[in-house]
Structure 1
Amino acid sequence: MEVRDLLEDRVLHTIRTDTVQIKKIAYTPTGKGLISLDERGNLATWNLADRSVQLRDQVDILPSPLIAYTPETSFLLGFGMSFVFHAQDHSAAASPRYSRPSIITPAVAYGFSGQIQASVTADHFSKGGWHFANQIRYVNNNRSYFFGLGHHAQRSNRTIYHNNVFSLAGSVTKGIGDRFFAGVGYQIRYDSSLDFDASAPLPIPDNNGGLLAGIGPVLQFDTRNDLLFPTKGYYVDLSFTRFGSWLKSDYGFSDVRIDYRGFHALPILTTGTTLAVQALYHGTMDGEAPFYQLPYLSADRILRGVWRNLYIDRQAVALQAELRSNFSNIDPRYGYVLFAGAGDVAPNFFKGYTPDIVGVFGMGYRQQVIPKRKLQSRIDVSYTTKGDFGIFGGLGLSF
């Protein structure tokens, strides 16, 4: 049983009674303790100054329904199970610098156009400062559109293709000091041959599929005050990945990513209102990447509501902002977001660039599934300045 401060959304005290259910509870006249009555009629007093009874649960298990709509998949319905492992604050062996929850999420989903997706995502922080982030994913009958490349792409010229995709991506980093993580990132992906629509209205790219394998350094800077729901601080992720035949890859090229995120508490609306900002650069160079591995703008990247392959090229940049708040201070478990963003793609932003920026805006509903951790479920509705529409749901923040 938890005694909570609803205004500040925090747990004041936790009481454990094994298998006996508490029927009634009240403060003592002095306010320094609690009196409880269990189902067996036994009275008990609890000294609130004794912090030894306030141990957290080791693991939270969260069922998470998956709901999404994209033009490629139509409606996508699925189910996941998130296992959230909490650092034990009372353990002397745990460094407070790395006291962060670890999450493992297996999930499976079905798209109404015939896709089956299965994945396992793991994000683990060790006591010694090691961070292991990995995702393994398989998509059967992956259904996507090809629109062409760069600013020449048009929705009216799209063609459908199908294939199966297996991917394994992640990183292993080690904390250096209080804020820096450095390590190695990797990506392995195998695509079966791409089956394009025979009546394609535009030239078809290489449809052989094949193996992608790459590895390279990762550098992260993290000052966020909370991993699941940051209200202040910054996060920067820099990565360089080289794909090549020396790793048995069928393609050779370099991949560079810069991901910046900032979080700012605002003294408006309700307690905990936050402005979150993200800026992303993604570029490929020194070789030829298959079109499905080129930088892109899309819902799973940064711009909700954009078709997956509509904006792809050798380089992509995007910026988005999200206002996060609650409906009231009385019950902060329920909230909303307002968001907007913009992005563009080009062969080279530093040479002969002609802007053709796409914007996105929308709103979303949030509900805390673990109030004491502020872990949220979400569903968003978005529109773009070029007429695209999307509905997306999931567990955790969008960024």
Structure 2
Amino acid sequence: MKRRTTFFLILQFLLCYPAPAQEQDSTVDLGKSESFAGKLFGLADRTIELLSTDSWTFIPALTYSPETSLGIGGRALKIFRTGKDRAFESTRPSSLPLTFLYTLNHQVILTGELELWMDENRSFLNARMEFSDYPFEFSGIGNEVVEAEPYASRYFFFHLYYEKKIAKGLYLGPRYEFRVDDLYQKIPGGMLDSRNIPGSNGQRLSGLGLAVNFDRRDNIFQPTKGVYHQLSWMKFHSLFGSNYDFSQWIFDFRKYWSVGKEQVLVGQARFSFSEGEVPFQHLAMMGGSDLMRGYFEGRYRDRHAMVYQAEWRFPVYRNLRMVAFGSAGQVGRKSSDFGLNRNLRMAGGLGFRYRLNEEGLHLRIDFAYGDQPAFYFGLNEVI
């Protein structure tokens, strides 16, 4: 059954999702099979024309991850640039994705996000809003996980970031985050029902923070060289309307190397540290489609986390690419919990990428293994 499902998703991925104009120098010699492959990819090209207008791309959203199971919905995506004339060409592309998703785990997810580059990349604004009805699992806190217990939560999330360029590639700006959770279903007598865990009776978070970004990527959707480093700090406090008081620091370092013909190596080191009374929903986590693919999201969570990831990206045929990736990570309550011989967990896998437009936006399928085999189907690169 799993093999049939995997084949179905790959077939949908190839037939139902489109591509931009082709680059002849990225093709490989497939001999007689090239005719069939050309027809197959040509069908994808025609599909995008049917699903798109001059300014919007409409994508049937078919997703999969261990946390959600199969998800079905739709996504409308607009890629645009601000400014005019010379400034128009030099300003990075902005994006506006709108997504609705319903999963076989009975999760409902509605999101909208605006990433806006302005004034020839001298300022950047990001706004995201999300509403979810989200049955999920909780496996405790720390490295000694217990049998997962289900719970269900409705939550609303909003954040607003603004950054201003202060030097070449260097951006600084404030950020605001708000989140409210209603845990409407818990296991009677379970861990969350005891109310001894912060956030188990719901939460309301409101906080202000600051971020410093050093961004020298050559492309925001598909970088081939450069760096992206971010240092962010958030403070949630009753003064801002939050019912939990805590601070959180996140350090995210990424480096991109161009190697060989159209091949890219990527490395990431991400550290998250918290202080204060942190609700379990906001603890540092490993797992999911972004951090440590192959581990269930939130299976390991604690005050602090360190995650290292690497990818090798290379072309296969026309707009189809592949990715080989690996990762290692740890969570802990204090700094002494970290070390090579202290609960270091590893994962790895392979993935496929299919280019959607000239800006470099990709659809992706990842097959990973960590503490379980898993595959993910979604949009955009992980790092």
Common fold by TM > 0.5 = yes
Letter in 2 for 1:120: G
Give structure 2 stretches of 5+ with no counterpart: 1-19, 28-52
- 1:35 corresponds to: none
Aligned residue among 373, 379, 386 for 2:359: 373
- 2:108 corresponds to: 116
1:283 Cα deviation after fit = 1.1
- 1:296 corresponds to: 285
Partners of 1:221 and 1:377 lie apart in 2 by 26
- 1:78 corresponds to: 73
Letter in 2 for 1:123: E
Partners of 1:322 and 1:4 lie apart in 2 by 24
Partners of 1:168 and 1:183 lie apart in 2 by 17
Q: Name the CA shift for 1:114/1:395 in 2 (closer, same or farther; >3 Å).
A: same
1:355 Cα deviation after fit = 1.2
- 2:17 corresponds to: none
Query: Does residue 196 of the first structure (1) align with residue 191 of the second (2)?
Result: no
Partners of 1:108 and 1:359 lie apart in 2 by 32
1:272 Cα deviation after fit = 1.1
- 2:143 corresponds to: 151
Partners of 1:276 and 1:134 lie apart in 2 by 27
Alignment of 1:301-380 (within 5 A): 301-328=290-317, 331=318, 333-350=319-336, 355-370=342-357, 372-380=358-366
Structure holding more helix per residue: 2
Letter in 1 for 2:321: G
Q: Is the 8 A contact 2:216 2:227 kept in 1?
A: yes
Which is greater in Rg? 1
Q: RMSD of the alignment, in Å?
A: 2.4
Alignment of 1:77-226 (within 5 A): 77-86=72-81, 91-94=85-88, 96=90, 99-127=91-119, 129-140=122-133, 142-154=134-146, 157-198=147-188, 200=190, 204=194, 205-206=197-198, 207-226=200-219
1:69 Cα deviation after fit = 3.1
Residue correspondences, number: 335
User: Greater RCO between the two (CA within 8 Å, min separation 6)?
Assistant: 2
Letter in 1 for 2:247: S
- 2:34 corresponds to: none
- 1:389 corresponds to: 373
Q: Give per-residue Cα distances to partners, 1:228-281, cap 9 Å, x unaligned.
A: 1110000001100000000010000001000111100111xxx21101111100
Q: Is the 8 A contact 1:139 1:166 kept in 2?
A: yes
Give structure 1 stretches of 5+ with no counterpart: 10-57
Partners of 1:352 and 1:342 lie apart in 2 by 12
Q: Is the 8 A contact 2:141 2:301 kept in 1?
A: yes
Alignment of 1:216-295 (within 5 A): 216-267=209-260, 271-285=261-275, 287-295=276-284
Q: Counterpart of 2:335 in 1: which secondary structure? A: coil
Q: Name the CA shift for 1:3/1:326 in 2 (closer, same or farther; >3 Å).
A: closer
Letter in 2 for 1:200: G
1:95 Cα deviation after fit = 8.3
1:65 Cα deviation after fit = 3.3
Letter in 1 for 2:242: S
